[in-house]
Structure 1
Amino acid sequence: MFPTPQPVVPSLQARVHPDEWQARLQLAACYRVFAMLGWTEMIYNHITVRLPDSVTGGDKQFLINPFGLHYSEVTASNLVKINLQGEVLDGSPYKVNPAGFVVHATLHGGMDGAHCVMHTHTTAGVAVACLQDGLSQSNFYSAQLHGMVAYHDFEGITIHAEEGPRVLQSIGNKPAVILRNHGLLAWGQTLPQTFAILWTLQRACEIQLATQSMGAPIPVPEAIAAKCTRDALQFNPNHGAGQDVFEALVRRMDKQDTGWRA
Protein backbone atom coordinates (compact mmCIF):
# COMPACT_ATOMS: atom_id res chain seq x y z
CA MET A 1 0.00 0.00 0.00
CA PHE A 2 1.08 3.57 -0.55
CA PRO A 3 2.39 5.37 1.40
CA THR A 4 4.53 2.90 3.33
CA PRO A 5 3.46 2.88 7.01
CA GLN A 6 6.13 4.26 9.31
CA PRO A 7 7.08 2.56 12.60
CA VAL A 8 5.15 3.73 15.63
CA VAL A 9 7.45 4.45 18.56
CA PRO A 10 5.69 4.22 21.96
CA SER A 11 6.21 7.12 24.34
CA LEU A 12 9.61 7.03 26.01
CA GLN A 13 8.70 9.45 28.76
CA ALA A 14 8.52 6.82 31.50
CA ARG A 15 11.56 4.90 30.20
CA VAL A 16 14.27 7.54 29.92
CA HIS A 17 16.03 9.88 32.33
CA PRO A 18 13.96 13.05 32.99
CA ASP A 19 16.80 15.19 31.57
CA GLU A 20 16.76 13.15 28.37
CA TRP A 21 12.99 13.56 28.09
CA GLN A 22 13.29 17.32 28.43
CA ALA A 23 15.99 17.36 25.73
CA ARG A 24 13.74 15.26 23.51
CA LEU A 25 10.82 17.63 24.02
CA GLN A 26 12.88 20.71 23.23
CA LEU A 27 14.45 19.18 20.12
CA ALA A 28 11.14 17.81 18.80
CA ALA A 29 9.61 21.26 19.28
CA CYS A 30 12.48 22.75 17.31
CA TYR A 31 11.92 20.41 14.38
CA ARG A 32 8.26 21.43 14.28
CA VAL A 33 9.23 25.13 14.49
CA PHE A 34 11.55 24.67 11.51
CA ALA A 35 8.70 23.04 9.60
CA MET A 36 6.42 25.96 10.52
CA LEU A 37 9.04 28.43 9.27
CA GLY A 38 9.62 26.51 6.03
CA TRP A 39 13.24 25.68 6.87
CA THR A 40 12.91 22.13 5.58
CA GLU A 41 14.49 20.15 2.76
CA MET A 42 12.17 17.19 2.19
CA ILE A 43 13.44 14.51 4.64
CA TYR A 44 16.99 15.90 4.75
CA ASN A 45 19.06 18.14 7.04
CA HIS A 46 19.39 17.88 10.78
CA ILE A 47 19.14 19.53 14.17
CA THR A 48 21.00 17.69 16.92
CA VAL A 49 21.36 18.06 20.67
CA ARG A 50 24.09 16.55 22.82
CA LEU A 51 22.69 14.84 25.91
CA PRO A 52 23.94 16.00 29.33
CA ASP A 53 26.29 13.97 31.49
CA SER A 54 23.41 13.28 33.89
CA VAL A 55 22.00 11.06 31.12
CA THR A 56 25.15 9.64 29.54
CA GLY A 57 27.55 9.32 32.48
CA GLY A 58 30.09 11.38 30.55
CA ASP A 59 29.83 9.64 27.19
CA LYS A 60 29.13 11.86 24.19
CA GLN A 61 25.69 10.95 22.89
CA PHE A 62 23.23 13.01 20.95
CA LEU A 63 19.71 13.04 19.54
CA ILE A 64 19.02 13.25 15.81
CA ASN A 65 15.95 13.05 13.61
CA PRO A 66 14.82 9.66 12.27
CA PHE A 67 15.87 9.42 8.62
CA GLY A 68 12.88 9.20 6.31
CA LEU A 69 10.53 11.44 8.28
CA HIS A 70 9.63 15.03 7.46
CA TYR A 71 10.33 17.53 10.23
CA SER A 72 6.58 17.82 10.80
CA GLU A 73 6.54 14.10 11.77
CA VAL A 74 9.27 14.28 14.41
CA THR A 75 8.20 13.61 17.99
CA ALA A 76 10.00 13.48 21.34
CA SER A 77 9.90 9.68 21.32
CA ASN A 78 10.90 8.95 17.72
CA LEU A 79 14.10 11.02 17.90
CA VAL A 80 17.07 8.64 17.67
CA LYS A 81 19.81 8.52 20.31
CA ILE A 82 23.25 7.78 18.84
CA ASN A 83 26.91 7.97 19.83
CA LEU A 84 29.81 9.58 17.98
CA GLN A 85 30.24 6.41 15.92
CA GLY A 86 26.66 6.64 14.66
CA GLU A 87 25.48 3.59 16.61
CA VAL A 88 21.81 3.64 17.61
CA LEU A 89 21.57 3.42 21.40
CA ASP A 90 17.84 3.35 22.08
CA GLY A 91 16.62 0.49 19.91
CA SER A 92 14.98 2.87 17.45
CA PRO A 93 13.53 1.23 14.33
CA TYR A 94 14.74 4.20 12.29
CA LYS A 95 17.97 4.70 10.40
CA VAL A 96 20.31 7.69 10.69
CA ASN A 97 21.40 9.66 7.63
CA PRO A 98 25.22 9.37 7.31
CA ALA A 99 25.40 12.79 5.64
CA GLY A 100 23.99 14.35 8.80
CA PHE A 101 25.80 12.22 11.29
CA VAL A 102 29.33 13.05 10.10
CA VAL A 103 29.20 16.85 10.46
CA HIS A 104 27.11 16.85 13.62
CA ALA A 105 29.22 14.18 15.32
CA THR A 106 32.34 16.16 14.39
CA LEU A 107 31.07 19.26 16.18
CA HIS A 108 29.54 17.48 19.18
CA GLY A 109 32.70 15.45 19.65
CA GLY A 110 35.26 18.14 18.90
CA MET A 111 33.81 21.30 20.48
CA ASP A 112 32.91 21.43 24.16
CA GLY A 113 30.48 24.31 23.59
CA ALA A 114 28.55 22.59 20.79
CA HIS A 115 25.53 21.41 22.76
CA CYS A 116 23.27 22.01 19.75
CA VAL A 117 24.01 21.98 16.01
CA MET A 118 21.61 23.14 13.28
CA HIS A 119 22.00 22.87 9.52
CA THR A 120 19.72 24.19 6.76
CA HIS A 121 19.48 24.35 2.97
CA THR A 122 17.15 27.34 2.68
CA THR A 123 17.10 29.12 -0.67
CA ALA A 124 18.56 32.30 0.81
CA GLY A 125 21.21 30.43 2.78
CA VAL A 126 22.41 28.29 -0.12
CA ALA A 127 22.36 31.28 -2.47
CA VAL A 128 24.64 33.34 -0.22
CA ALA A 129 26.84 30.27 0.32
CA CYS A 130 27.32 30.16 -3.46
CA LEU A 131 28.56 33.76 -3.67
CA GLN A 132 32.29 34.33 -3.92
CA ASP A 133 32.19 37.02 -1.22
CA GLY A 134 29.67 35.22 0.97
CA LEU A 135 27.74 37.25 3.53
CA SER A 136 27.69 40.99 2.93
CA GLN A 137 28.11 43.23 5.97
CA SER A 138 25.37 45.50 4.72
CA ASN A 139 22.21 45.03 6.74
CA PHE A 140 20.79 45.11 10.25
CA TYR A 141 21.16 41.35 10.70
CA SER A 142 24.59 40.73 9.22
CA ALA A 143 25.89 43.64 11.32
CA GLN A 144 24.95 41.66 14.43
CA LEU A 145 27.20 38.80 13.32
CA HIS A 146 30.43 40.77 13.04
CA GLY A 147 33.36 38.44 13.67
CA MET A 148 31.02 35.50 14.24
CA VAL A 149 30.85 33.96 10.75
CA ALA A 150 33.12 31.15 9.56
CA TYR A 151 33.39 29.59 6.10
CA HIS A 152 34.16 26.03 5.07
CA ASP A 153 34.93 25.15 1.46
CA PHE A 154 32.75 22.64 -0.33
CA GLU A 155 34.14 19.10 -0.44
CA GLY A 156 31.06 17.29 -1.69
CA ILE A 157 28.36 15.43 0.24
CA THR A 158 29.48 15.27 3.87
CA ILE A 159 29.69 11.51 4.40
CA HIS A 160 33.46 11.16 4.76
CA ALA A 161 34.86 11.30 8.31
CA GLU A 162 38.23 12.62 7.12
CA GLU A 163 36.58 15.97 6.39
CA GLY A 164 35.80 16.41 10.09
CA PRO A 165 39.14 17.92 11.22
CA ARG A 166 39.03 20.40 8.35
CA VAL A 167 35.50 21.43 9.34
CA LEU A 168 36.68 22.09 12.91
CA GLN A 169 39.67 24.05 11.65
CA SER A 170 37.45 26.17 9.39
CA ILE A 171 34.98 26.94 12.17
CA GLY A 172 37.40 27.74 14.98
CA ASN A 173 35.20 29.31 17.65
CA LYS A 174 32.74 31.05 15.33
CA PRO A 175 29.13 29.92 15.89
CA ALA A 176 27.62 31.02 12.55
CA VAL A 177 28.95 28.95 9.65
CA ILE A 178 28.51 29.24 5.90
CA LEU A 179 29.27 25.95 4.18
CA ARG A 180 30.28 27.18 0.75
CA ASN A 181 28.07 25.99 -2.14
CA HIS A 182 26.05 24.09 0.47
CA GLY A 183 24.12 25.94 3.17
CA LEU A 184 24.09 27.38 6.67
CA LEU A 185 25.09 25.90 10.02
CA ALA A 186 25.00 27.19 13.59
CA TRP A 187 26.08 25.76 16.92
CA GLY A 188 25.69 26.93 20.49
CA GLN A 189 25.64 26.18 24.19
CA THR A 190 21.85 25.77 24.20
CA LEU A 191 19.22 25.03 21.60
CA PRO A 192 17.54 28.46 21.88
CA GLN A 193 20.91 30.23 21.56
CA THR A 194 21.73 28.19 18.45
CA PHE A 195 18.32 29.01 17.02
CA ALA A 196 18.87 32.74 17.61
CA ILE A 197 22.20 32.59 15.79
CA LEU A 198 20.80 30.66 12.85
CA TRP A 199 17.69 32.86 12.61
CA THR A 200 19.87 35.99 12.48
CA LEU A 201 22.12 34.44 9.82
CA GLN A 202 19.09 33.33 7.80
CA ARG A 203 17.52 36.81 7.97
CA ALA A 204 20.82 38.40 6.95
CA CYS A 205 20.91 36.15 3.87
CA GLU A 206 17.28 36.92 2.99
CA ILE A 207 17.84 40.67 3.19
CA GLN A 208 21.07 40.40 1.22
CA LEU A 209 19.31 38.57 -1.61
CA ALA A 210 16.53 41.16 -1.69
CA THR A 211 19.03 44.03 -1.66
CA GLN A 212 21.29 42.62 -4.36
CA SER A 213 18.30 42.02 -6.63
CA MET A 214 17.79 45.78 -6.68
CA GLY A 215 21.36 47.04 -6.73
CA ALA A 216 24.57 47.38 -4.74
CA PRO A 217 24.10 47.32 -0.94
CA ILE A 218 25.38 50.08 1.34
CA PRO A 219 28.21 48.58 3.42
CA VAL A 220 28.10 48.88 7.20
CA PRO A 221 31.42 50.23 8.55
CA GLU A 222 33.48 47.82 10.64
CA ALA A 223 33.19 49.91 13.80
CA ILE A 224 29.41 50.15 13.53
CA ALA A 225 29.07 46.41 12.85
CA ALA A 226 31.28 45.60 15.85
CA LYS A 227 29.10 47.87 18.00
CA CYS A 228 25.93 46.16 16.71
CA THR A 229 27.32 42.77 17.67
CA ARG A 230 28.23 43.97 21.16
CA ASP A 231 24.76 45.50 21.59
CA ALA A 232 22.88 42.43 20.27
CA LEU A 233 21.98 40.56 23.44
CA GLN A 234 19.94 37.73 21.93
CA PHE A 235 22.96 35.40 21.83
CA ASN A 236 24.07 36.18 25.40
CA PRO A 237 23.20 33.56 28.07
CA ASN A 238 22.87 36.40 30.60
CA HIS A 239 19.99 37.81 28.55
CA GLY A 240 18.07 34.66 27.75
CA ALA A 241 20.10 33.70 24.66
CA GLY A 242 17.05 33.29 22.47
CA GLN A 243 14.92 31.47 25.05
CA ASP A 244 12.04 33.97 24.93
CA VAL A 245 11.95 33.97 21.12
CA PHE A 246 12.02 30.19 20.91
CA GLU A 247 9.30 29.79 23.52
CA ALA A 248 7.08 32.26 21.65
CA LEU A 249 7.40 30.18 18.49
CA VAL A 250 6.63 26.97 20.39
CA ARG A 251 3.46 28.58 21.76
CA ARG A 252 2.47 29.58 18.24
CA MET A 253 3.14 26.07 16.99
CA ASP A 254 1.19 24.49 19.85
CA LYS A 255 -1.94 26.27 18.59
CA GLN A 256 -1.63 24.22 15.40
CA ASP A 257 -0.31 20.87 16.59
CA THR A 258 0.87 19.33 19.87
CA GLY A 259 1.75 15.93 18.39
CA TRP A 260 5.47 16.58 18.83
CA ARG A 261 5.07 16.03 22.57
CA ALA A 262 4.28 12.31 22.11
Structure 2
Amino acid sequence: MSEKVVPFDRRNSCSDAEWQARIDLAACYRLVALYGWDDLIFTHISARVPGSHDHFLVNRYGLMFEEMTASNLVKVGLDGTVIDDDPNAINPAGFTIHSAVHEARPDAGCVIHLHTNAGVAVSAQEEGLLPISQTALFPLAQISYHDYEGVALNPDEKQRLVADLGHGKVMILRNHGTLAIGATVADAFLNIYSLERACAMQIMAQAGGGKLRHVSKPIVDGIMAQAKEVTRGLGGALAWPALLRKLDRIDPSYRT
Protein backbone atom coordinates (compact mmCIF):
# COMPACT_ATOMS: atom_id res chain seq x y z
CA MET A 1 0.00 0.00 0.00
CA SER A 2 1.50 3.35 -1.04
CA GLU A 3 2.10 6.13 1.46
CA LYS A 4 -0.43 8.92 1.26
CA VAL A 5 0.96 12.40 0.68
CA VAL A 6 -0.29 14.47 3.60
CA PRO A 7 -1.24 18.01 2.54
CA PHE A 8 0.22 20.79 4.63
CA ASP A 9 -1.32 24.19 3.88
CA ARG A 10 1.26 26.98 4.21
CA ARG A 11 -0.58 29.80 2.46
CA ASN A 12 -1.79 31.49 5.63
CA SER A 13 1.36 30.89 7.67
CA CYS A 14 3.96 32.70 5.57
CA SER A 15 4.50 36.11 3.99
CA ASP A 16 3.39 36.94 0.46
CA ALA A 17 7.04 37.01 -0.62
CA GLU A 18 7.71 33.55 0.79
CA TRP A 19 4.53 32.19 -0.78
CA GLN A 20 5.63 33.47 -4.20
CA ALA A 21 9.04 31.88 -3.67
CA ARG A 22 7.30 28.61 -2.83
CA ILE A 23 5.23 28.79 -6.03
CA ASP A 24 8.31 29.47 -8.16
CA LEU A 25 10.32 26.68 -6.54
CA ALA A 26 7.46 24.17 -6.86
CA ALA A 27 7.15 25.20 -10.51
CA CYS A 28 10.87 24.57 -10.99
CA TYR A 29 10.50 21.04 -9.61
CA ARG A 30 7.58 20.40 -11.95
CA LEU A 31 9.55 21.72 -14.94
CA VAL A 32 12.52 19.50 -14.14
CA ALA A 33 10.14 16.54 -14.10
CA LEU A 34 8.46 17.71 -17.29
CA TYR A 35 11.79 17.84 -19.14
CA GLY A 36 12.75 14.41 -17.84
CA TRP A 37 15.64 15.63 -15.71
CA ASP A 38 14.45 14.23 -12.37
CA ASP A 39 16.01 11.18 -10.71
CA LEU A 40 13.13 9.55 -8.82
CA ILE A 41 13.11 11.25 -5.38
CA PHE A 42 16.81 12.12 -5.51
CA THR A 43 18.65 15.38 -6.28
CA HIS A 44 17.38 18.70 -4.99
CA ILE A 45 16.44 22.24 -5.85
CA SER A 46 16.59 24.83 -3.09
CA ALA A 47 15.62 28.49 -2.80
CA ARG A 48 16.45 31.11 -0.21
CA VAL A 49 13.47 32.40 1.77
CA PRO A 50 13.04 36.09 0.83
CA GLY A 51 14.40 38.42 3.49
CA SER A 52 16.49 35.69 5.13
CA HIS A 53 20.11 34.63 4.72
CA ASP A 54 19.90 31.37 6.66
CA HIS A 55 16.48 29.90 5.80
CA PHE A 56 15.79 27.90 2.66
CA LEU A 57 13.06 25.91 0.95
CA VAL A 58 13.72 22.38 -0.29
CA ASN A 59 11.76 19.28 -1.27
CA ARG A 60 10.23 16.89 1.18
CA TYR A 61 12.23 13.65 0.98
CA GLY A 62 10.22 10.89 -0.62
CA LEU A 63 8.10 12.99 -3.00
CA MET A 64 8.48 12.81 -6.76
CA PHE A 65 9.30 16.13 -8.41
CA GLU A 66 5.93 16.01 -10.20
CA GLU A 67 4.23 16.02 -6.77
CA MET A 68 5.84 19.20 -5.48
CA THR A 69 3.56 22.03 -4.40
CA ALA A 70 4.09 25.38 -2.73
CA SER A 71 2.79 24.00 0.57
CA ASN A 72 4.77 20.77 0.78
CA LEU A 73 8.17 22.45 0.39
CA VAL A 74 10.08 22.32 3.68
CA LYS A 75 11.79 25.31 5.30
CA VAL A 76 15.22 24.51 6.71
CA GLY A 77 18.27 26.21 8.21
CA LEU A 78 21.81 26.06 6.85
CA ASP A 79 22.46 22.85 8.77
CA GLY A 80 19.34 21.19 7.37
CA THR A 81 17.35 21.62 10.60
CA VAL A 82 13.62 21.85 9.85
CA ILE A 83 12.04 25.20 10.78
CA ASP A 84 8.51 25.91 12.07
CA ASP A 85 7.77 22.40 13.35
CA ASP A 86 7.10 21.24 9.81
CA PRO A 87 6.14 17.53 10.00
CA ASN A 88 7.77 16.79 6.65
CA ALA A 89 11.33 15.46 6.54
CA ILE A 90 14.21 16.23 4.20
CA ASN A 91 17.37 14.39 3.24
CA PRO A 92 20.14 16.22 5.19
CA ALA A 93 22.87 14.59 3.10
CA GLY A 94 21.23 15.88 -0.06
CA PHE A 95 21.23 19.41 1.32
CA THR A 96 25.03 19.41 1.88
CA ILE A 97 25.86 20.78 -1.56
CA HIS A 98 23.06 23.32 -1.45
CA SER A 99 23.87 24.66 2.00
CA ALA A 100 27.53 25.09 1.03
CA VAL A 101 26.63 27.18 -2.02
CA HIS A 102 23.92 29.22 -0.30
CA GLU A 103 26.21 30.06 2.61
CA ALA A 104 29.17 31.07 0.46
CA ARG A 105 27.22 32.89 -2.26
CA PRO A 106 24.70 35.50 -1.07
CA ASP A 107 23.71 35.89 -4.73
CA ALA A 108 22.60 32.25 -4.85
CA GLY A 109 18.87 32.67 -4.42
CA CYS A 110 18.31 29.25 -5.99
CA VAL A 111 20.52 26.17 -6.43
CA ILE A 112 19.63 23.34 -8.82
CA HIS A 113 21.48 20.01 -8.80
CA LEU A 114 20.69 17.24 -11.30
CA HIS A 115 21.78 13.70 -12.27
CA THR A 116 20.64 13.54 -15.90
CA ASN A 117 21.96 10.99 -18.39
CA ALA A 118 23.57 13.65 -20.57
CA GLY A 119 24.88 15.71 -17.65
CA VAL A 120 26.50 12.73 -15.97
CA ALA A 121 27.88 11.51 -19.31
CA VAL A 122 29.63 14.82 -19.95
CA SER A 123 30.81 14.96 -16.33
CA ALA A 124 32.65 11.68 -16.96
CA GLN A 125 34.55 13.12 -19.93
CA GLU A 126 38.07 14.44 -19.31
CA GLU A 127 37.53 17.65 -21.30
CA GLY A 128 34.10 18.32 -19.84
CA LEU A 129 31.76 20.60 -21.78
CA LEU A 130 33.03 21.39 -25.27
CA PRO A 131 32.45 24.61 -27.26
CA ILE A 132 30.73 22.82 -30.12
CA SER A 133 27.28 24.44 -30.09
CA GLN A 134 25.84 27.89 -29.63
CA THR A 135 23.92 26.57 -26.63
CA ALA A 136 27.16 25.45 -24.96
CA LEU A 137 28.66 28.93 -25.15
CA PHE A 138 26.37 30.37 -22.46
CA PRO A 139 27.33 27.90 -19.71
CA LEU A 140 30.96 27.85 -20.90
CA ALA A 141 31.25 31.56 -20.15
CA GLN A 142 30.61 30.91 -16.45
CA ILE A 143 31.43 27.25 -15.85
CA SER A 144 33.57 25.52 -13.23
CA TYR A 145 34.36 21.92 -12.25
CA HIS A 146 34.54 20.00 -8.98
CA ASP A 147 36.22 16.60 -8.67
CA TYR A 148 34.22 13.69 -7.31
CA GLU A 149 34.78 12.92 -3.61
CA GLY A 150 32.11 10.28 -3.12
CA VAL A 151 28.52 10.76 -1.95
CA ALA A 152 28.19 14.31 -0.58
CA LEU A 153 28.22 13.45 3.12
CA ASN A 154 31.52 15.01 4.20
CA PRO A 155 31.17 18.57 5.57
CA ASP A 156 34.84 19.18 4.76
CA GLU A 157 34.01 18.97 1.07
CA LYS A 158 31.96 22.17 1.29
CA GLN A 159 34.99 24.48 1.27
CA ARG A 160 36.52 22.75 -1.73
CA LEU A 161 33.24 22.81 -3.63
CA VAL A 162 32.61 26.54 -3.14
CA ALA A 163 36.26 27.31 -3.92
CA ASP A 164 35.89 25.45 -7.23
CA LEU A 165 32.58 27.21 -7.97
CA GLY A 166 34.20 30.61 -7.47
CA HIS A 167 32.06 33.33 -9.04
CA GLY A 168 30.55 31.04 -11.66
CA LYS A 169 26.88 30.25 -12.15
CA VAL A 170 27.11 26.70 -13.47
CA MET A 171 29.24 23.74 -12.43
CA ILE A 172 29.90 20.23 -13.60
CA LEU A 173 30.41 17.87 -10.68
CA ARG A 174 32.78 15.35 -12.24
CA ASN A 175 31.42 11.78 -12.42
CA HIS A 176 28.30 13.06 -10.65
CA GLY A 177 26.09 15.60 -12.41
CA THR A 178 25.34 19.25 -13.00
CA LEU A 179 24.65 22.30 -10.85
CA ALA A 180 23.38 25.80 -11.54
CA ILE A 181 22.65 28.83 -9.39
CA GLY A 182 20.81 32.08 -9.92
CA ALA A 183 19.66 35.12 -8.04
CA THR A 184 16.13 33.89 -8.68
CA VAL A 185 14.51 30.55 -9.45
CA ALA A 186 13.94 31.80 -12.99
CA ASP A 187 17.63 32.62 -13.49
CA ALA A 188 18.78 29.30 -12.03
CA PHE A 189 16.38 27.41 -14.28
CA LEU A 190 17.60 29.21 -17.40
CA ASN A 191 21.20 28.41 -16.42
CA ILE A 192 20.52 24.69 -15.85
CA TYR A 193 18.42 24.55 -19.03
CA SER A 194 21.33 25.86 -21.12
CA LEU A 195 23.81 23.50 -19.43
CA GLU A 196 21.62 20.41 -19.76
CA ARG A 197 20.75 21.14 -23.39
CA ALA A 198 24.43 21.68 -24.19
CA CYS A 199 25.35 18.37 -22.57
CA ALA A 200 22.66 16.52 -24.53
CA MET A 201 23.82 18.11 -27.79
CA GLN A 202 27.43 17.15 -27.05
CA ILE A 203 26.58 13.50 -26.45
CA MET A 204 24.52 13.41 -29.66
CA ALA A 205 27.29 15.08 -31.67
CA GLN A 206 29.87 12.64 -30.33
CA ALA A 207 27.59 9.72 -31.15
CA GLY A 208 27.66 10.81 -34.79
CA GLY A 209 31.30 9.77 -34.99
CA GLY A 210 32.50 12.71 -37.07
CA LYS A 211 35.22 15.20 -36.21
CA LEU A 212 33.81 17.92 -33.98
CA ARG A 213 34.25 21.59 -34.87
CA HIS A 214 34.93 23.95 -31.94
CA VAL A 215 33.72 27.54 -31.72
CA SER A 216 36.64 29.98 -31.51
CA LYS A 217 37.68 31.34 -28.11
CA PRO A 218 37.00 35.04 -28.94
CA ILE A 219 33.37 34.18 -29.65
CA VAL A 220 33.11 32.17 -26.41
CA ASP A 221 34.64 35.07 -24.47
CA GLY A 222 32.12 37.56 -25.84
CA ILE A 223 28.99 35.46 -25.47
CA MET A 224 27.75 36.89 -22.16
CA ALA A 225 27.28 40.37 -23.64
CA GLN A 226 25.26 38.79 -26.44
CA ALA A 227 23.25 36.77 -23.92
CA LYS A 228 22.16 39.95 -22.15
CA GLU A 229 21.02 41.37 -25.46
CA VAL A 230 19.07 38.22 -26.37
CA THR A 231 17.25 38.19 -23.01
CA ARG A 232 16.82 42.00 -23.05
CA GLY A 233 18.76 42.10 -19.79
CA LEU A 234 16.01 40.19 -18.01
CA GLY A 235 17.78 36.83 -17.77
CA GLY A 236 15.48 34.00 -16.80
CA ALA A 237 12.62 36.39 -16.08
CA LEU A 238 12.00 36.72 -19.81
CA ALA A 239 10.99 33.07 -20.24
CA TRP A 240 9.64 32.34 -16.75
CA PRO A 241 6.08 33.67 -17.20
CA ALA A 242 5.70 31.55 -20.34
CA LEU A 243 6.95 28.48 -18.48
CA LEU A 244 4.43 29.07 -15.71
CA ARG A 245 1.65 29.37 -18.28
CA LYS A 246 2.78 26.05 -19.73
CA LEU A 247 2.56 24.42 -16.30
CA ASP A 248 -0.83 26.01 -15.63
CA ARG A 249 -2.19 24.41 -18.80
CA ILE A 250 -0.85 21.00 -17.76
CA ASP A 251 -1.54 21.00 -14.00
CA PRO A 252 -1.77 24.16 -11.86
CA SER A 253 -1.69 22.21 -8.57
CA TYR A 254 1.92 23.26 -7.98
CA ARG A 255 0.47 26.58 -6.79
CA THR A 256 -1.37 25.01 -3.83
What TM-score does the superposition give when structure 1 sets the normalisation length? 0.93
Q: Is the Cα–Cα contact under 8 Å of residues 47 and 118 in structure 1 kept in the other structure?
A: yes
Structure 1 spans left out of the alignment, 5+ residues: none
Which of 137-146 and 227-236 deviates more?
A: 227-236
Matched, 1:229 2:228: no
Aligned 8 A contact 1:27 1:47 in 2: yes
Q: Of 194, 198, 219, which residue of structure 2 is paired with 1:204?
A: 198
Superposition deviation, residue 234 in structure 1: 7.5
Relative to structure 1, the CA distance from residue 182 to residue 234 in structure 2 (aligned partners, 3 Å threshold; closer, same or farther) is farther
Alignment of 1:127-146 (within 5 A): 127-146=121-140
Contact (CA 8 Å) 2:93, 2:152: kept in 1 or not? yes
Could you give the per-residue CA deviations for residues 36-83 of structure 1, whole angstroms, max 9, x where no partner exists? 111100001111101122xx4xx5110000000001111101100000
Cα contact 1:48–1:116 (8 A) shared by 2 = yes
- CA distance change for structure 1 residues 125 and 234 in 2, over 3 Å: closer, same or farther? farther
Alignment correspondent of 2:237 = 243
In the aligned structure 1, how far is the partner of 2:236 from the partner of 2:203?
Answer: 25
Matching residue's letter, 1:5: K
Q: Pairwise CA RMSD of aligned residues?
A: 1.5
Cα deviation for residue 235 of structure 1 reads: 9.1
Q: C-alpha separation between the residues in 1 aligned to 2:128 and 2:175?
A: 10
2:6 aligned with 1:3: no
Partner residue of 2:108? 114
Relative to structure 2, which stretch is displaced further, 76-85 or 92-101?
92-101
* 2:255 paired with 1:256: no
Structure 2: segments with no counterpart, 5+ residues: none
Change (3 A) 1:195 1:159: same
- Structure 1 runs of 4+ aligned residues shifted over 3 Å read none
* In 1, Cα distance between equivalents of 2:226 and 2:46: 28
Q: Equivalent of 2:214, from 216, 219, 223?
A: 219
**Residues 131, 137 of structure 2: 8 Å contact kept:** yes
Residue 46 (structure 1) aligned with residue 44 (structure 2)? yes
**What is the CA-CA distance between 1:195 and the residue it aligns to?**
1.0
SS of 1:255 mapped into structure 2: helix
**Distance verdict in 2 for CA 1:220–1:87, change over 3 Å:** same
1:235 and 1:90 map into 2 onto residues whose CA distance is 42
CA distance in 2, matches of 1:121, 1:110: 23
Q: Please report how far the alpha carbon of residue 228 of structure 1 lies from its aligned counterpart in structure 2 after TM superposition.
A: 2.5
Amino acid at match of 1:4: E
More moved, 225-234 vs 193-202: 225-234
- Aligned residue pairs total 255
- Please state if 1:78 is matched with 2:77: no
Alpha-carbon distance, 1:96 to partner? 1.0
**Identity percentage over the alignment?**
36
Match of 1:28 in 2: 26
What amino acid maps onto 2:124 in structure 1?
C
Quote how far apart the aligned CAs of 1:7 are: 2.3
Indicate conservation of the 8 Å contact 1:80/1:90, yes or no. no
